Amino acid sequence: MPEPGLPRRVGRQKRPPVPESARKRAAKACVPCRYHKEKCGGGVPCARCRQYNRACRFEITAPQPVSRQTGNHATGLGSSSHAQDREAVMLRIIRHFMGDVASDTSSLRSIADGLEKRSPDHDGQVLTGITGPEPESYSLEPLSSSTMHYYGELSHWNFSQTLRRRLRSLGSGTDQNYGADTVRGTHRATGLQSSTSVVSSAMAYFPPRDIADFLTETFLQYAQTNYFYFDERTLRQKMDHYYSNEHALTIHDAGWIGTLLMTFAIGTQFAYMQTKPIQMSPHVPSEIPDDRVGLELYRFSCRLIPDLVTVASVETVQAFLLLGSYTLPIDTGGLAYTYYGLAIKMAIQNGMHRDSSQLSLDSDTIEWRNRLWWSAYSLESRISILHGRPVSISHLEVDAHVPTDRALPLPTGRASNLHNVNANIFLTGQLGKVSQTIMRLRGCPRPQQKGHLHDLMVIRSSLAKWWSSLPTEVHCRDLTPTGPLFRCNVHLELSYDTVIIYMGRPFIFTPKPAHSVASEPHNESPIYTLATDCLDAAIRIIELCQLLHDSVGIARVSYTEFSSCRAALLALIAHSLNTQTDRILNTLSQGMTLIRQMCVGVESARSDVAALEAMEHARQRLQQQGVPSEPGNLDIDLGYSQFQRWAQLWESEPPSAQQHSSTTDATFSEFPDSLTPPSFDGFFASLPQEVDSFATITGSDQLFLDDSWLGEPGGPILPAEGVNPFDI
């Protein structure tokens, strides 16, 4: 009771209900307005969806079942009014910690998913009542059906949107919002576009339609393998459009024009494979296909780059991926690396790395965004890791769904490579994990070495189980030469074996334990296991390349085939410094014969093969000098001494062209008289540093006697489709 003389406190009066006809906003907002946190005026479509050309739709919620009246309020099974009171209290708690958020099911589900991704420290602060920064979700502003603009969580734009919503909520009780809703839209620098775009003259570079169909089919059959570059149905529709339509081209056609021209250009690189297998030889220049047509198509496409960057659409991502693929065998670490980086930047600008399921897009468009993103990410990440460079985006920033078969059907008669693509995405993720683990192992304190080696052994065991779980009919592991996905499957296994080599090559020159006993054999140590796996994978790669050679032929411009063979030969040469068995030497000789055929007409490949020839020449000179070698013995102390002697010999006495010719059957007789060994660019660039780091791991003679401390290393066997490529 209030004290006498004091006015009685009046409680907050309940606001009377407002009739529908007098409401300033709709009783229920549409899904796009709710996603962009905008005021919805009602109607189908609403005014904002009409303004931004969006698909206006409303969420249909199923009626909630009414709880039975049991009278037991203490257990929460009482009347429906009790459930409503409980829901109201929970909403008050949510709004206390999260602010004024939407209370519909989809919005609350998005908030819950976001909270699950936060760190444990942040969750602890929320539970203890310590308020952190106000959450800001990312934004995707649609500019057209194929162009969007992405703003990250901590961007200026997102904070401005948070401020705008706050101003709107403060003015919601009045008839005006003080101009908070007047500024909208994303600015594009259209003033920087070409005034007279070079794309208008592109049709002069289009080949005749029958030739265009031949080159496109060649690309799909030999160049695409385990990636997605474009939707085949849409590409053929665009070909019909441009070949039958005579209207003037504009800058907005640049993406598809670049995609088509580079598809034709890459087709010229593989066109010779449509004939019977050719036994390529570096001695017969006339057997090198004429690349002038492809080069002209590439040079014209390069003139489109300013327009491609300015437009920054999904189609420009396709064009840059194809530019990178054309230059991949020619200049891997230079032009190809740059083009793939541009493709990633264009994709991020369009928000393709984020979950697109909440966008007002049809299922085919969403699926193609996911497929194109993961192809770009896999290509750029793989090239970056194998060339010792940082990737453009961390996998922690990616939540796009992996490709599925729920949309984008293929033309009749063509086998889907979806399983292979998803397996390739997974391998790329594991390659990144291996790279990070090896970098942590380098130079780490002795107590931490055991843990990092354990991580590598877990990855190795789980990869082996995952690989054995892949399908063996048609997809992934079917190596029948007449199968529809034969080359795709061979390329997938080449990529798998390359990961195994990458994992084990740092331990080739690591000293073995000095105090091994019978109960703790050396051949059970993780270092020995990883090095042995590396050797087995190298031999397997040469076998696969020989299988290609004997069946459909080796592609002289296939980066996967050449780089895998090169990595295998480097590993074989390194292992031969430790032990020279007939198996290693015969495989090494077989691989050198194969890789000489792969470098025909590609100058960068010829340079890499010249480096391999020089190293093999130095190894043979060491063998001829009678350096002892015990078959089957991985005494790496002796092997490393051999390696040092070989390195000094090769550096002080680079082989002359005459010596080189006598050893390698005059394979590179066209090289200058003074042959300077090319640099170790690419896959094995960091070998000398790896030797220095891993050959002197502190305490390695006491730590890694066997792998009994590992227990049973293993992990889940993940299916090829729908996997998280970063989980094991």
pLDDT tens, residue by residue, 561-600: 999 999 999 999 999 988 888 999 999 999 999 998 888 7
* Residue 656, pLDDT above cutoff 50: no
Which stretch of 471-480, 607-616, 693-702 has the lowest confidence by average pLDDT? 693-702
Beta strands in 20-154 (DSSP E): 139-142, 148-151
Distance of CA 125 to the CA centre of its chain: 34
Which stretch of 350-359, 485-494, 704-713 has the lowest confidence by average pLDDT? 704-713
Distance of CA 648 to the CA centre of its chain: 39
Distances (CA, A) of 507 to 169, 245, 463, 510, 571: 62, 60, 19, 5, 11
Confidence grade of residue 697 (pLDDT, cut at 50, 70, 90): very low
Same domain, 382 and 260: yes
Distances (CA, A) of 367 to 164, 370, 379, 400, 711: 33, 5, 19, 10, 41
Number of domains in the chain: 3
pLDDT 10s digits, 593-636: 999 888 877 777 888 888 888 888 888 888 777 655 444 444 43
Summary mean pLDDT of the chain? 74
Same domain, 261 and 397: yes
Same domain, 353 and 226: yes
Same domain, 381 and 483: no
Q: Is residue 366 part of a domain?
A: yes
More confident position, 487 or 624: 487
pLDDT 10s digits, 523-549: 568 899 999 999 999 999 999 999 999
Q: Is residue 660 part of a domain?
A: no
Q: Is residue 146 part of a domain?
A: no
Sort residue 474 into left (φ over 0), alpha (ψ -120 to 50) or beta.
left
* Residue 295, pLDDT above cutoff 50: yes
* Residue 76, pLDDT above cutoff 50: no
Name, in order, each residue with C-beta under 8 angstroms of 447's C-beta and a sequence gap of 6 or more: none
Same domain, 379 and 481: no
For residues 715 and 728, give the distance between their C-alpha atoms in angstroms, rounded to a whole number. Answer: 6
Question: What's the token pair of residue 691?
Answer: 């030797």
| Boundary-marking domain end, from 384, 406, 428 | 406
* Residue 652, pLDDT above cutoff 60: no
| Boundary-marking domain end, from 406, 435, 459 | 406
More confident position, 701 or 416: 416
Is the separation of the CB atoms in 711 and 592 below 8 Å?
A: no
pLDDT of amino acid 115: 60
Residue by residue, DSSP assigns 142-182 as: ESSSS-EEEE-TTSHHHHHHHHHHHHHHHTTTSS--TTTTS
Q: If DSSP codes are grouped into helix, strand and coil, which group holds residue 12?
A: coil
pLDDT of amino acid 592: 92
More confident position, 515 or 111: 111
pLDDT of amino acid 174: 47
Same domain, 299 and 392: yes
- The amino acid present at 362, given as its one-letter code, is D
pLDDT of amino acid 521: 52
Q: What is the mean pLDDT of residues 189-215?
A: 83
For residues 332 and 562, give the distance between their C-alpha atoms in angstroms, rounded to a whole number. Answer: 12
Q: Which of 470, 472, 544, 550 is nearest to 501 (CA)?
A: 544
Q: Is residue 352 part of a domain?
A: yes
Name, in order, each residue with C-beta under 8 angstroms of 120's C-beta and a sequence gap of 6 or more: none
Same domain, 338 and 252: yes
* Residue 667, pLDDT above cutoff 60: no
Question: What's the token pair of residue 670?
Answer: 């066209």
Same domain, 263 and 358: yes
For residues 624 and 669, give the distance between their C-alpha atoms in angstroms, rounded to a whole number. Answer: 23
More confident position, 301 or 114: 301
pLDDT of amino acid 570: 93
More confident position, 5 or 52: 52
For residues 301 and 265, give the distance between their C-alpha atoms in angstroms, rounded to a whole number. Answer: 10
Q: Which of 577, 493, 578 is nearest to 539 (CA)?
A: 493
For residues 68 and 247, give the distance between their C-alpha atoms in angstroms, rounded to a whole number. Answer: 68
Number of H helices, E strands in the chain: 25, 2
Q: What is the pTM of this model?
A: 0.68
Which stretch of 33-37, 50-54, 118-122, 582-586 has the lowest confidence by average pLDDT? 118-122
Q: Which of 12, 563, 556 is nearest to 268 (CA)?
A: 556
Same domain, 378 and 498: no
Is the separation of the CB atoms in 208 and 256 below 8 Å?
A: no
pLDDT of amino acid 47: 80
Distances (CA, A) of 232 to 235, 251, 259: 5, 23, 12
Q: Is residue 447 part of a domain?
A: no
Is the separation of the CB atoms in 541 and 564 below 8 Å?
A: yes
pLDDT 10s digits, 421-465: 999 999 999 999 999 999 888 878 888 888 889 999 999 999 999
Within 13 A of 563's CA, how many CA atoms are on the CB side?
28
Q: Is residue 95 part of a domain?
A: no
Sort residue 476 into left (φ over 0), alpha (ψ -120 to 50) or beta.
left
Confidence grade of residue 103 (pLDDT, cut at 50, 70, 90): low
CB atoms within 10 A of CB 39: 17
**Domain that includes residue 38, residue range:** 27-52
Distance between start and end Cα atoms, the chain: 66
| Boundary-marking domain end, from 624, 651, 683 | 624
Q: Is residue 540 part of a domain?
A: yes
For residues 127 and 627, give the distance between their C-alpha atoms in angstroms, rounded to a whole number. Answer: 69
pLDDT 10s digits, 371-403: 999 999 999 999 999 988 888 888 888 989 999
Same domain, 402 and 475: no
Distances (CA, A) of 452 to 446, 586, 700: 11, 34, 13
Confidence grade of residue 242 (pLDDT, cut at 50, 70, 90): very high
More confident position, 193 or 674: 193
Which stretch of 31-40, 296-305, 370-379, 395-404 has the lowest confidence by average pLDDT? 31-40
Q: Is residue 101 part of a domain?
A: no
Same domain, 220 and 329: yes
pLDDT of amino acid 335: 93
CB atoms within 10 A of CB 352: 26
Same domain, 582 and 482: yes
Query: With helix as H, strand as E and coil as C, how does 639-702 read?
Result: HHHHHHHHHHHHHHCCCEHHHHHHHCCCCCCCCCCECCCCCCCCCCCCHHHHHHHHCCCCCHHH
For residues 460 and 529, give the distance between their C-alpha atoms in angstroms, rounded to a whole number. Answer: 10
